[in-house]
Amino acid sequence: MQTTPGTTDTASPDSAAYAPTDRTIPTRSADRAAYDRETVHAILDEAYVCHLGFVRDGAPVVLPTLYGRVGDRLYVHGSTGSRPLRMARATSEEQDPGLQVCLTVTHVDGLVLARSAFHHSINYRSVVIHGTAHQVTDPEEKRAALDALVDHVVPGRSADSRPANTKELAATAVLSLDLNEVSAKARTGGPNDDPEDMDLPHWAGVVPLRKGHDALIPSEDLAPDIKVPDYLVEL
């Protein structure tokens, strides 16, 4: 079903960029694709949730989940009983077969309203990662991964919360996914109407979607002497 040959460039032409592969070169709108680490990491670090895809009994499954990044490695976590985490464990004598995944992160930045229905679009930034996820068995890496997961939600938070205890660590499984076969894609700007449509009487432009957060909601049982920490004020 592939129309292009296999991996087109395994040697990265630039150490600051991920090498494109057959799976990460888009069939459409190739001009929207990017492979540099700075762009990829910025998109990953700004989002809260990824969509993790894997194959179960031959069918695709896509689940939303939190993640964290440490350098060129992503981590997802879950109960040791959850499906993808069980599937990533060795189910036979085979050592750590891993789990083939596709992990995708998307920001929706704006709604693009064109004069023609056909040119309606959205402004977005996305990252798609293909690879094999492996269970993290090293205790130190597992602790660092869990810190990264908490700090991904709110930078600085892991140092201001009780770390996982032995029981919690045992109940939590962590998967790692190396950033290797990765691409970013983005659309920005206004609508691209056809020249012959420019005089149509329809409003055209962009509806920018709101970012950021509203006022914090403290827990009802929060002790009154606990102030909002700086890392939340700066959020």
Question: Which parts of 88-147 interact with a second copy (CB under 8 A)?
Answer: 91, 100-104, 106, 108, 110-111, 113-118, 120, 122, 124, 126, 128, 130, 146-147
Nearest approach in angstroms of CB 16 to a second copy is 25
Q: Pull the structure tokens for residue 202.
A: 């329809």
Answer for which of 150, 175, 179, 182 binds a second copy (CB under 8 A) is 150
Distance CA 81, CA 53 (A): 17
SS3 66: strand
C-beta of residue 197 within 8 angstroms of C-beta of residue 116: yes
Q: Pull the structure tokens for residue 38.
A: 């700075």
Answer for which of 5, 11, 15, 27 binds a second copy (CB under 8 A) is 27
Nearer to a second copy, 16 or 61 (CB): 61
**Angle, vertex CA 47, rays to CA 42 and CA 154, nearest 5:** 95
Nearest approach in angstroms of CB 195 to a second copy is 11
**Alpha-carbon distances, residue 176 vs 7, 132, 135 (angstroms):** 23, 8, 6
First to last CA, the chain: 45
Answer for which of 166, 224, 227, 234 binds a second copy (CB under 8 A) is 227
CB atoms within 10 A of CB 22: 14
- The residues in 156-215 that bind a second copy, with binding defined as CB under 8 A, are 157-158, 160-165, 168, 172, 190-191, 193, 197-215
Nearest approach in angstroms of CB 69 to a second copy is 16
Q: Does 228 bind a second copy (CB under 8 A)?
A: yes
Q: Does 30 bind a second copy (CB under 8 A)?
A: no
